[in-house]
Amino acid sequence: MFGITKIFTQITQPTLKIGVLIAKGNPNFDTTIGFSRAAGGLTVALRRIEDEQLLKGYNLTFVFAFDQCNEALAAGGAINLIKEQGADVIIGPACSNSATVAALIAAFYNFPIFAWGTVLDSDLMDTDRFPTLASTSMSTYSLVQALGEVFNLYEWNEFAFFYAVRLNSVIPRCGYLQSDMDSYMSSMDNMTMIEEILCWRLWMKV
């Protein structure tokens, strides 16, 4: 008499662990790129992934490290997410200086990293230096190039450049634009910046 034995195996879904480098509890970022403002976007993205079955068969989990747009914290956070937390990918940081550090560490480990937010530094476009970095932000040099194309279209060859700097060294948006404008103009023979004026602005809460 023959018996038939049924063997049941439990199939577990693979887990995709997403590391997030983000600022938290800092009033400089809470209203723009901080955790309290931006973390909700992760749940919106997760819901859309599930609705459209983009990663069918995977469980998605998030692990966080709070870099506060600080280079040292970004370095430690990136290493922790990669080596200790076992993340498969990193989203963030959202500031150029900390993104530069995290992207260099990701390059060392050949690890994918996605920058977003106020990551405007054109140096991050260097794919040889940052081979595993992708960014959802446009660099300021791309904006300067677009402006140059407008000048060429209308045959404008002289202009004055006014810019303001917010007194926050962590996110020097206009500083990147000013630097890239100078770099772009040094490569153009048919265009002259006749004046460059820096306007210091004090940003105060009323």
**Residue 7: its pLDDT value, please?**
45
DSSP H stretches of helix in 27-166: 35-38, 40-51, 71-79, 96-108, 140-153
Domains observed in the chain: 15-135 (3.40.50.2300), 140-201 (no CATH)
Three-class HEC string of 89-113: EEECCCEHHHHHHHHHHHHHCCCCE
Distance from the Cα of residue 60 to its chain's centroid: 21
Report residue 99 as tokens.
């993104």
**Residue 6: its pLDDT value, please?**
42
Q: How many CB atoms lie within 10 A of CB 79?
A: 17
Average pLDDT value for residue range 3-12: 47
pTM of the full predicted structure?
Answer: 0.73
**Residue 166: its pLDDT value, please?**
59
Banded pLDDT at 20 (limits 50, 70, 90): very high
Phi/psi for 146 (5° steps) reads -65, -40
Banded pLDDT at 174 (limits 50, 70, 90): low
The Cα–Cα gap between 13 and 49 comes to 16
> Quick check: helix, strand or coil at residue 165?
strand
Residue 138 pLDDT > 60: yes
Cα→Cα distances 205→24, 141, 172, Å: 20, 31, 19
Distance from the Cα of residue 76 to its chain's centroid: 17
Residue 143 pLDDT > 50: yes
Structural contact between residues 93 and 99, judged by C-beta atoms closer than 8 angstroms: yes
